[in-house]
Structure 1
Amino acid sequence: MSNFVSVAELNELRTSGVPVRVIDVRWRLDRPDGRADYLAGHIPDAVYVPLDTELSSHGEPADGRHPLPTTAQLQDAARRWGVRDGDVVVAYDDAKGVAAARAWWLLRQAGVDVRVLEGGIRGWRDAGHDVTTDDVTPEAGDVTLTPIGADAITIDEAAALPASGVLLDVRAGERYRGEVEPLDPQAGHIPGAVNLPTVLHFDSAGRILDHDTVRATFAAVGVTPGTAVAAYCGSGITAAHTALVLDEVGIEAKVFPGSWSQWSNTPGRPVAVGDQPG
């Protein structure tokens, strides 16, 4: 079963009688609060999910910018969204699925049947479907989540992974090389990590490329089925997107949720610069 649904498939699900909860996870680095965009127009019955507060927790800088929520925190949030046991959850955003993938990654670990809408809100509109501007407040759900965290690795595990597998840095190349760093105290990358920006796996409309092409892109940096692989980014959001793509093409992967924001805020951690892993 695919991790993605097309606009047509979502529209069919919504009218088929299958219990579906649609969540709007609009979030970007330059616009972390997507509520205004949600209120300007969203898929009917979709619930707005604030990524910073419901798909993340908060701690010290050395914890990273988007630490994982606890299972109890995520369950409380999912119940607020109206999710009930047995529901299909479909997440979307306006950034090629990058933010929606964070919801997918967490909810999948928690035992929820969750998908990401290909093309996001733009694809929905382009297909001619209506949007609404109400602030949806559903009846509270009763979903019971299983413990999350097994698909995450620690900072020490991230440091050790290049010796036995592949650690993917999925940020833009200029951040990996250490040429710019707009958010964190140091520029560069984790020694041994290889750069593969997650945007390479999608077309301009936010649809995943054909699976053979995607597998070839991963294979070029040493990632094939059976490879021990984990992804990191700036703060664990974009890395979940790469985990989504890897799972879609049959490759298991983990995520370092602290990512560069944790690494660069932890004294004593070495930093590599340039276009090579070392």
Structure 2
Amino acid sequence: MTDIISASELAGESAGPRPPVLLDVRWQLSAAGGGAQRAAYEEGHIPGAVFVDLDAELAAPAGAGGRHPLPDPEVFGAAMRAAGVSADRDVVVYDGGQGWAAARAWWLLRYSGHPSVRVLDGGLPTWTGEKEQKVPVPTPGDFTPKPGALPLLDADAAAALARTGLLLDARAGERYRGEVEPIDRVGGHIPGAVSAPTTENVAEDGRFLPPAELLARFTALGVVPAGSGEQEVGVYCGSGVSGAHEVLALAVAGVPAALYAGSWSEWSADPDRPVATGPERG
């Protein structure tokens, strides 16, 4: 079982005797919030897919923990069960093509203990089969979250990892350098973090680069190849969404990584935390 699936593979599995649960997590980053795209889902989605609202179901309300804090496990579990998610059934998540929202759902499910979750590589634009407007009413699932199955960082742990291991900043380079900051209180990055824009993990069509190319990219950024020594790798972004996509890219490359879910939106909200600017690499 890999962490991504192609559209052709999904079509084959969907026609099988036990098709995967499909979750449509279309969402777009918005400075004003409310980025869920239910209207687009209702205009057409992969048959059987259930819409999941990232802002309401894959995150808690914005606050001291950042713009997209992790949801309460009970709230998340109820949303997943309502969508038909069970512990013993495969899940495939997709979004509009960017991959960030789908990766957030993938990470939350895997972090919460689900054993089999994959992201549709390239998202809905790669799907060439039929689409439907009918909103399905799934049979409720039995999934109960058990958080902790994937590594998670808080602000202090992220700061320490930037000094002792490798902390990757998945945002655009200009935000990392502090040249612009369209959303959060201040621009810049966690001191010692390495700029690693998640947009560079995919090809022009939104599909992930081949595993070997991803590994070469991360190795150039400081990832120690397997067998060459112990190293902890962590990722953060603006609010824990695109960072999940980078964790997924690292998984495709065979590199386990922790996510700092609060990310820059939590870090920068605290004026006592240091902020670095410019092309620093630690």
Q: Same fold (TM over 0.5)?
A: yes
Q: Distance in 2 between matches of 1:216 and 1:19?
A: 34
Structure 1 window deviating more from structure 2 (25-34 vs 81-90): it is: 25-34
Structure 1: give runs of 5+ residues left out of the alignment: none
- 1:193 and 1:277 in contact (8 A); partners too: yes
Q: Does 1:252 align with 2:269?
A: no
1:18-167 matches, within 5 Å, as 18-30=18-30, 32-60=35-63, 62-112=64-114, 113-124=116-127, 127=128, 129-148=129-148, 150-167=150-167
SS at match of 1:16: coil
Moved more, 64-73 or 236-245: 64-73
Give 1:174-185 correspondences, 5 Å limit. 174-185=174-185
Q: Alignment length, in residue pairs?
A: 274
Kept in 2: contact 1:236–1:259 (CA 8 A): yes
Deviation at 1:213, TM superposition (A): 1.1
1:79-99 deviations in Å (ceiling 9; x for gaps): 010112311110000133111
1:228 aligns to what?
A: 232
Partner of 2:153, secondary structure, is coil
Q: Deviations over 1:154-209 (max 9, x none)?
A: 10011111221011001001101111111111111111111010111111112111
Decide whether the 8 Å contact of 1:71 with 1:148 is kept in 2.
no
Contact 1:96–1:202, Cα closer than 8 Å, also in 2: no
Mapped to 1, the partners of 2:162 and 2:21 lie a distance apart of: 39
User: Where does structure 1 differ by over 6 angstroms across 4 or more consecutive aligned residues?
Assistant: none
Whole-angstrom distance in 2 between the partners of 1:6 and 1:59:
33
Residues 19, 86 of structure 1: 8 Å contact kept: no
Distance 1:160 1:111 in 2: 26
Give a deviation string over 1:239-268, Cα, whole Å, max 9, x none: 111111111111110000000000110120
Which whole-Å CA distance do the structure 2 matches of 1:242 and 1:44 have between them?
28
Question: Measured at CA, do residues 223 and 26 of structure 1 come closer, stay the same or move farther in structure 2, by a change above 3 Å?
Answer: same
- TM value normalised by structure 2: 0.93
How big is the alpha-carbon RMSD for the aligned residues of Structure 1 and Structure 2?
Answer: 1.4
Matched with 1:11 is 11
- The residue identity in structure 2 corresponding to 1:144 is T
Shift of 1:68: 0.6
How far does the alpha carbon of each residue in 1:87-114 deviate from its partner, in whole angstroms, 9 at most, with x for none? Answer: 1110000133111001111111222210
Q: Structure 1 length normalisation: TM-score?
A: 0.94
Q: Return the letter of the residue paired with 1:168.
A: L
User: Any idea what SS the aligned residue of 2:235 has?
Assistant: strand
Distance across 2 between alignment mates of 1:76 and 1:268:
37
